[in-house]
Amino acid sequence: MPVFQPEIECASRDYLHAVQSARLIRMVNSAYQNVPFYKRKLDEIGLKPGDIHSIDDIGKLPFTVKTDLRDNYPYGLFAVPPRELTRIHASSGTTGKQTVVGYTAHDIEVWAEGAARALSAAGATREDFIHVSYGYGLFTGGLGLHYGAEYMGATAIPVSSGNTKRQVQILQDFGSDFLCCTPSYAMFIGETVRDMGIDPRSLKLRGGLFGAEPWTDNMRREIERLLDIKAYDIYGLSEIAGPGVAYDCERQDGLHINEDYFYPEVIDPDTLQPLPDGEYGELVFTCIGKEALPLVRYRTRDICALERTPCACGRTLVRMSKPRGRSDDMLIIRGVNVFPSQVEHVLLELGMDPNYLLIVDRKNNLDSMEVQVEMNAGLFSDTVRDIENTERRIEAALQSTLNIHANVSLMEPGSLPRSEGKAKRVIDKRV
Task: Indicate the residue among 109 and 367 with the shorter CB distance to ligand DLL.
Answer: 109
Binding-site string for ligand DLL from residue 81 to residue 100, where x marks contact by CB under 6 A and - marks none: ----------x---------
b (16+ CB within 10 A) / e for 333-367: beeeebbbbbbbbbbbeeebbbbbbbbbeeeeeeb
Q: 270: which residues sit within 8 A by CB, 6+ positions away? A: none
Task: Give, in degrees to the nearest 5, the angle at Cα 323 between 422 and 95.
Answer: 45
Q: Residue 308's closest CA among 270, 355, 362, 256?
A: 256
Sole binder of ligand DLL in the list 148, 207, 208, 236 (CB under 6 A):
236
Least Cβ distance, residue 132 to ligand DLL (angstroms)? 10
Q: Is 302 in the site for ligand DLL (CB under 6 A)?
A: yes
Q: Where are the alpha helices (DSSP H) in 159-272?
A: 164-174, 183-195, 217-227
Sole binder of ligand DLL in the list 238, 286, 316, 390 (CB under 6 A):
238
User: Considering only 102-110, 235-243, 362-370, 387-395, which stretch makes contact with ligand DLL by CB under 6 A?
Assistant: 235-243
Sole binder of ligand DLL in the list 9, 213, 259, 420 (CB under 6 A):
213
Sole binder of ligand DLL in the list 211, 281, 354, 421 (CB under 6 A):
211
Task: Indicate the residue among 129 and 134 with the shorter CB distance to ligand DLL.
Answer: 134
* # of chain residues touching ligand DLL (CB under 6 A): 22
Which 3 state secondary structure label does DSSP give 163? coil
CA distances from 28 to 77, 98, 241 (A): 13, 26, 18
Task: Indicate the residue among 32 and 247 with the shorter CB distance to ligand DLL.
Answer: 247
Q: Is 34 in the site for ligand DLL (CB under 6 A)?
A: no
Q: How many CA atoms lie within 13 A of 45 on its CB side?
A: 13
Q: Supply φ then ψ for residue 386, to 5 degrees.
A: -60, -45
Binding-site string for ligand DLL from residue 118 to residue 147, where x marks contact by CB under 6 A and - marks none: ----------------x----xxx--x---
Least Cβ distance, residue 325 to ligand DLL (angstroms)? 7
Chain residues binding ligand DLL by CB under 6 A are 91, 134, 139-141, 144, 211-214, 233-238, 242-243, 300, 302, 323, 326
